[in-house]
Amino acid sequence: MMYGYGPGFVWMLVFSLVWIALVVLIIWAVVRLVQDQRVRRGDPEPRVDEPEEILARRYARGELGTEEYQRMRAELGERRRPD
């Protein structure tokens, strides 16, 4: 006998699951909103310098001589060509 309580534990389980679903839904909505704001603002992704740009900067700063710059640039060009 249940002494008048009936299937109360079932409703407790149902409402617990509803609350868990509600919390998950709120967290999902907040995450989605934050991601949408980032896209709308246009936050740029971190830029990765191309090897040619790095090489040109090093040459401009005087870290590389002309022959070394030209040799490295030719090597980079060979690597970039599709086989």
Please list the pLDDT of the chain residue by residue as tens digits (83 residues). 456 667 777 888 999 999 999 999 999 999 998 887 766 666 566 677 788 999 999 999 999 999 999 999 999 888 766 65
Number of domains the chain contains: 2
The verdict on 2 and 35 lying in the same domain is: yes
The verdict on 36 and 62 lying in the same domain is: no
The verdict on 26 and 56 lying in the same domain is: no
pTM (two decimals): 0.41
Euclidean distance between CA atoms 59 and 69, whole angstroms: 7
The verdict on 1 and 40 lying in the same domain is: yes
Domain encompassing residue 31: 1-45
Beta strands in the chain (DSSP E): none
The verdict on 33 and 7 lying in the same domain is: yes
Assign residue 52 a region (left: φ > 0; alpha: ψ between -120 and 50; beta: otherwise): alpha
